[in-house]
Chains A and B, each alone.
Chain A
Amino acid sequence: NAGVMQNPRHLVRRRGQEARLRCSPVKGHSHVYWYRQLPEEGLKFMVYLQKENIIDESGMPKERFSAEFPKEGPSILRIQQVVRGDSAAYFCASSTRDTEAFFGQGTRLTVV
């Protein structure tokens, strides 16, 4: 589990604001995944990225949500115009091909 850094750990936003969640993968890992855990629900896949490419975004809501993994710097999950239903824990995981995924500590987003 060591090495995947997510920040902030806790984020409070008012309805209508933007939320930016950052994920620095394990050094050398080229695959990043974002998952969402709604209160009292299981984890759900959102998006899978490799450097500068979105590989699978089938789990991302069609509006307000975007993700990137630039050549330099962390992966960013961006939520525009947040609503109360966006309140959840957002987890990032990283891996290389065919290795186990390492998870971050998560960012707990609360929309008030």
Chain B
Amino acid sequence: KNEVEQSPQNLTAQEGEFITINCSYSVGISALHWLQQHPGGGIVSLFMLSSGKKKHGRLIATINIQEKHSSLHITASHPRDSAVYICAVRSDFGNEKLTFGTGTRLTIIP
């Protein structure tokens, strides 16, 4: 079992729909990251969370430390949101390295 599990693996939605991507992890963490990767492109850090909720534009990220679960929401989705979204966790053992989920491939249809 992977330390970081994401669901769904693939998601296709119509423009304007509300999107939710889930991430569950099985280890103690000091922080959780949500990352975005466009095909053939680099990786952009969207959020770093250690508790609660963060919002940036149409993106919202939440984390429940007790349940070891995080969600990434996109409101009013747009075709330019089409990308792979990756959840990554940083352990709480003093090592800063990230462990990644396998990613969720999001496609928004106009």
Residues of A within 8 A of B (CB): 1, 31, 33, 35, 41-45, 48, 55-56, 59, 91, 93, 95, 97-106, 108
- In the complex, the answer to whether B101 meets A56 with C-beta atoms within 8 Å is no
Residues A106 and B42 in contact in the complex (CB < 8 Å), given A48-B95, A55-B95: yes
Chain B residues within 8 Å of A104, by CB: 42
Cα of A112 to Cα of B78 in the assembled complex, Å: 38
- In the complex, A104 Cα to B42 Cα: how many Å? 6
Q: Is the interface of A mostly helix, strand, loop or mixed?
A: strand
B 10-48 binary contact with A (CB < 8 Å = 1; else 0):
000000000000000000001101010000111111001
Tell me whether A35 and B103 are in contact in the complex, defined as CB-CB below 8 angstroms, given that A43-B86, A106-B42, A106-B43 are known contacts: no
Q: Chain B's nearest CB lies how many Å from the CB of A5?
A: 11
Q: Does A101 contact B100, Cβ atoms closer than 8 Å?
A: no
Q: Decide if A105 touches B42 in the complex (CB within 8 Å).
A: yes
* B33→A100 contact, CB < 8 A: yes
In the complex, chain A residues whose CB is within 8 Å of the CB of B99: 45
Chain B residues, CB < 8 A from A102: 45
Query: In the complex, what residue of chain B is closest to A48 when comparing beta carbons?
Result: B97
- Mind listing 8 A-B residue pairs with CB under 8 Å? A42-B101, A43-B98, A44-B100, A56-B97, A93-B43, A101-B33, A105-B42, A106-B43
Q: How far is the CA of A101 from the CA of B42 in the complex (A)?
A: 13
Query: Which residues of chain B are within 8 angstroms of A101 by Cβ–Cβ distance?
Result: 33, 45, 96, 98
